[in-house]
């Protein structure tokens, strides 16, 4: 039976048998015991499913990954130690030295850095395109060696809404997958696979955990991308892997399983960015209430954005579901129930005013974090985006005086009163 998303948040991924624990068990074990070497050998040959070492996989993680896979409507998923690891693994699973990535320029600063600096050092080139570029401009960014297109469904912190259909169409016309980081709306508010995305990533550190308690990431495969139809571009998936006795992932595990199996058995084996089972357990507690929390985050975000928009000390407000917003039409299409609780805005008076405002907030804390039960705020130019120069900041839609406020689950009346008194103090 296909349950609703609300029910999946609570119960998907783990179904205890008779007399088994009701809550997902934390399998706090690095290793697993087998009766014969032959049994274990089958795991190393990917002939049998199972666990042999928690650097690659752990049952607790797999229960939780299965829940997120169900929420996104995918066929396979895995947890990583962080959102950074999720995006790195998703890209590096199909890119290598000599490959090229097309990415939206409006993405989280850490991911921009990952693509523009660290992957470049590994020989992977990239071209950034404005999220609002025309189809022509987008298509012109592709090269023969392009292997992936990347964007954020709602960008952190610029809050641009990705036209997923436009990006998916261009990616598919060039025979490569679209990877969408869906951290901000979560599958409660947007499911990118329904619009043509092929792989979804998450920083589960944000709304999915939702309590600022556990760092983590996730990669989910839609199972729709036909790797074999573009075998020349994806030799890692479509030719034998000598480190697994000549297995060809796309043949053995099909469209539905190849991407995640390769990512787990190669990248986790060699790089080891696995989520701890303790964190996976905490993440699952967050997921159980995700469908209840997201509407409240949206309600608070909308109320705060509307308040800020009419305030005389505010230069502009970025919140996609404000009718005045540049992305309002895209938001209506992709985010009919709202996006998230993150609002960004610029104060008249730039950096100085921003500093004063933040200092005077009482409920909202200054944190390098978003998407938490407790309201927090940040000036990206001096923190998450400080590696970018002014030109890059402008391209990413993050002017130096921008404030990002992440509306938590408090009462919106109290949040607005706190913001109002901090504005008065400027």
Ligand X SMILES: Cc1ncc(COP(=O)(O)O)c(C=O)c1O
Q: How far is 109 from 86, CA to CA, in rounded Å?
A: 15
| Non-local CB neighbours of 153 within 8 Å, separated by 6+ positions | 161, 162, 164, 180, 181, 182, 184, 185, 190, 192, 334
Number of neighbours of residue 411 by Cβ within 10 angstroms: 11
Between 152 and 418, CB nearer to ligand X: 152
Between 248 and 344, CB nearer to ligand X: 344
Task: Write down the number of H helices and E strands in the chain.
Answer: 19, 12
Between 247 and 283, CB nearer to ligand X: 283
CB of 82 to ligand X, least distance (A): 3
Rounded to 10 degrees, the C-alpha dihedral 58/278/75/52 comes to 0
Across the beta sheet with 342-347, the strand order is: 314-318, 342-347, 402-406, 376-378, 365-366
Between 185 and 236, CB nearer to ligand X: 185
Give the closest residue to 90 by CA, choosing from 201, 172, 206. Answer: 201
CB of 393 to ligand X, least distance (A): 16
Instruction: Write the DSSP symbol of residue 403.
Output: E
Between 261 and 276, CB nearer to ligand X: 276
CB of 181 to ligand X, least distance (A): 5
CB 283 within 8 A of CB 209: yes
Between 74 and 83, CB nearer to ligand X: 83
Between 82 and 248, CB nearer to ligand X: 82
CB of 358 to ligand X, least distance (A): 18
CB of 426 to ligand X, least distance (A): 27
CB of 375 to ligand X, least distance (A): 16
CB of 341 to ligand X, least distance (A): 13
User: How far lies 14's CA from each of 22, 84, 141, 158, 202, in Å?
Assistant: 9, 26, 43, 36, 20
CB of 217 to ligand X, least distance (A): 5
Q: How far is 163 from 160, CA to CA, in rounded Å?
A: 9
Between 261 and 279, CB nearer to ligand X: 279
SS (H, E, C) 130-171: CCCCCHHHHHHCCCCCEEEEEEECECCCCCCECCHHHHHHHH
Q: Binding residues for ligand X, per CB under 6 A?
A: 82-84, 87, 108, 110-111, 152, 156, 181, 183, 203, 205, 215, 217
């Amino acid at each position: 039976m296909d349950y609703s998303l609300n029910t999946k948040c609570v119960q998907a991924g783990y179904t205890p048998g008779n007399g088994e624990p009701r809550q997902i068990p934390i399998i706090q074990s690095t290793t697993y015991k087998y009766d014969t070497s032959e049994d274990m050998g089958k795991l190393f040959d990917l002939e049998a499913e199972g666990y042999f070492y928690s650097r690659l996989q752990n049952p607790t993680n797999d229960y939780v990954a299965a829940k997120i896979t169900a929420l996104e409507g995918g066929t396979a998923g895995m947890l990583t130690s962080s959102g950074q690891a999720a995006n790195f693994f998703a890209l590096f699973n199909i890119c290598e030295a000599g490959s090229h990535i097309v990415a939206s320029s409006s993405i989280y600063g850490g991911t921009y850095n990952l693509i523009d600096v660290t992957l470049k050092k590994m020989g992977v080139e990239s071209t950034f395109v404005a999220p609002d570029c025309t189809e022509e401009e987008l298509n012109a960014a592709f090269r023969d060696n392009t292997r992936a297109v990347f964007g954020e469904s709602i960008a952190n912190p610029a809050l641009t809404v990705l036209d997923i259909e436009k990006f998916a169409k261009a990616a598919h016309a060039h025979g490569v997958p679209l990877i969408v980081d869906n951290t901000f709306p979560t599958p409660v508010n947007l499911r990118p696979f329904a619009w043509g995305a092929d792989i979804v990533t998450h920083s589960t550190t944000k709304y999915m955990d939702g309590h600022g308690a556990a760092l983590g990431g996730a990669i989910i495969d839609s199972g729709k991308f036909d790797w074999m139809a573009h075998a020349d571009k994806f030799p890692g998936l479509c030719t034998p892997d000598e480190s697994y006795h000549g297995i060809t992932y796309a043949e053995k595990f099909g469209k539905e399983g190849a991407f995640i199996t390769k990512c787990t058995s190669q990248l986790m084996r060699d790089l080891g960015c696995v989520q701890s089972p303790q964190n996976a357990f905490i993440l699952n507690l967050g997921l159980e209430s995700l469908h209840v929390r997201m509407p409240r985050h949206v309600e608070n975000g909308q109320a705060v954005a509307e308040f800020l928009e009419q305030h005389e000390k505010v230069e502009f407000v970025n919140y996609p579901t404000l009718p005045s917003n540049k992305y309002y039409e895209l938001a209506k299409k992709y985010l009919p129930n709202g996006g998230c609780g993150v609002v960004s805005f610029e104060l008249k008076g730039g950096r100085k005013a921003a500093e004063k405002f933040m200092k005077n907030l009482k409920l909202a804390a200054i944190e390098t974090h978003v998407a938490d039960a407790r309201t927090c705020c940040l000036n990206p130019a001096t923190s998450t985006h400080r590696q970018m120069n002014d030109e890059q900041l402008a391209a990413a839609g993050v002017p130096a005086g921008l404030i990002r406020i992440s509306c938590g689950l408090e009462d919106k009346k109290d949040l607005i009163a706190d913001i109002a008194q901090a504005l008065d103090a400027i």
